[in-house]
Amino acid sequence: MTDIRFGTDGWRALIAEDFTFENVARCSLGLCAYLKEAGTADRGLVVGYDTRFLSPEFAETVAAVCSGQGIKVFLATKSAPTPVLSYNVLHHQAGGAAIITASHNPGQWNGFKFKPEYAGSATQEITDRLEEAIARSATAIPHSGAEGRESGLIVDLDPDPPYLERIASLVDLDAIKAAGLDLVVDAMYGAGGGYLPAILTGDKTTVRELHGSRNPAFPGMEQPEPIAHNLTEISSLIAKDGASVGIALDGDADRVGLIDEQGRFVTTLDTFSMLAQYLLEQKQQRGALVKGVTSSIALNKLGEAYGVDVHEMRVGFKNIGPKMTEVDALMAGEESGGFAFRGHIPERDGILSGLYFLEYMATTGDSPTQLLQRLIDKVGLHSYHRRDIGFRASDRERILQKLNDPNLTEIAGVKILDSDTIDGRRLHVDDGWLAVRFSGTEPLLRIYAEAATPEMVNRLLDGAMEYLGV
């Protein structure tokens, strides 16, 4: 029997190997048990899905199982982004959402995300309880939802209207539409396809969308993750034809990637910092910032400059989201390109992140390059890069021992000033850091570095790989 475990954001597995209809049914039955134990089952469950292979059919299985357990299901009538479905939890005052998606993983993967009644990522405590309930759920469930529909326990849900109304209350869409921006969007064949063109049509701003249709193979990209090596087409298009800015969304549109007006990828750390600066400086809003440990130290400098607290958390919104709620943070985010904002949901939203950046451009009249220069003028230069490395399971313990060596005082001849173990191991160096951690969603070792220059970043990364023997 498959051991179903929830990582930093949901359970993910290879389709047909572990991600099967039987295991999705087990997962759903365990979720029903959890909802009943938590006392939220009578509020119903939002069920949605992304554009991956068999995602609609897996969602039907979830609906059939849950309705068979007497739980009302609001079943999405089309693929939709995770933040859209999450917001519907609040709108319908549901007990949570079950979303069939593997987010940014390669096409052969699928996954099961659970968003509790507060519409954010499930905490570690909740996923522990959910895993225990799933482990007790060994009975396969029939895959038909016809009885649920006949009894009224499965109802159709158009998830878009409530979400779009909320977005319009947060962002000055008219200002963006009137700004005359030439926007290029890469939906990466994911669930975010069509959203930005629909939101921004009707005035001087134009929107061109790439890969807005469904294709579960995600051709031309390693995976639907909005990072530089997956965005060569949109980058080349902007460099060749020109545009004001490019916005890319990951597979379930909870992450964002930016391309500047010259076709250059903007690092996710700079994107996070620029959005924070916009809220603090231009919009004159105040509130704490919550960041994953692998986000930029520029955020700490912004916190000092504007007199707001900065909280550093383990990677994953199961750790970041609860802290955001606890301190009523202005903004929260992580290195992966997922950002959340006060007044919305304690969860990443790639669409809203992109719209806030467009609003920044529209209200200042500045290009992405000019907005980045504003940040540099405030906090200084910062370069960043991440390397993802496959590893043998048998090497995990050896790597951990090397990381935790108390005699480690330098990497590549760079003196280590301090270290912490908030998540993996982060080594602090002069005006920068090097971090190493195991991914919570994929079998990868992630090595990150931030420093004043690209040369120092590569020096730290090369030194870490040599030291770890990977």
Backbone angles phi, psi at 16, to 5 degrees: 80, -15
At residue 391, the pLDDT reads 86
In the chain, count of helices (H) and strands (E)?
16, 22
Task: Give the Cα separation of 313 and 318 in Å (integer).
Answer: 10
Beta bridge partners of 210: 186
Question: Three-class SS of residue 178?
Answer: helix
Beta bridge partners of 433: 428, 450
pLDDT tens by residue, 411-469? 999 999 999 999 999 999 998 999 999 887 678 899 999 999 999 999 999 999 999 99
* Burial class (CB within 10 angstroms; exposed 0-12, middle 13-18, buried 19+) of 35: buried
At residue 145, the pLDDT reads 82
pLDDT tens by residue, 331-367? 999 999 999 999 999 999 999 999 999 999 999 999 9
| pLDDT band of 140, cuts 50, 70, 90 | low
| pLDDT band of 116, cuts 50, 70, 90 | very high
| Kind and range of the H or E run holding 49 | strand 45-49
Give CA angle at 312 (276, 273), nearest 5°. 20
Calculate the average pLDDT of the chain.
95
List Cα–Cα distances, 400 to 107, 441, 468, in angstroms.
Answer: 30, 18, 9
| Average pLDDT estimate for 282-307 | 96
pLDDT higher than threshold 70 for residue 239:
yes
Residue 182 neighbours by CB distance under 10 Å: 17
Question: Three-class SS of residue 141?
Answer: coil
Q: In what order do the strands lie in the sheet with 265-266?
A: 206-210, 182-186, 245-249, 256-259, 265-266
pLDDT higher than threshold 80 for residue 144:
no
In 307-458 the beta strands, taken as DSSP E runs, fall at: 310-313, 331-333, 339-341, 383-390, 410-411, 414-415, 418-420, 425-429, 432-438, 444-451
At residue 141, the pLDDT reads 63
Task: Retrieve residue 277's tokens.
Answer: 């600066």
- Judge whether 247 and 183 are in contact, CB under 8 Å: yes
CA 122 to chain centre: 14
* Burial class (CB within 10 angstroms; exposed 0-12, middle 13-18, buried 19+) of 4: buried
Give the closest residue to 339 by CA, choosing from 282, 271, 283.
271
List the domains of the chain with CATH numbers: 11-159 (3.40.120.10), 171-379 (3.40.120.10), 383-468 (3.30.310.50)
pLDDT tens by residue, 391-406? 888 889 999 999 889 8
Residue with tokens 């990582």: 7
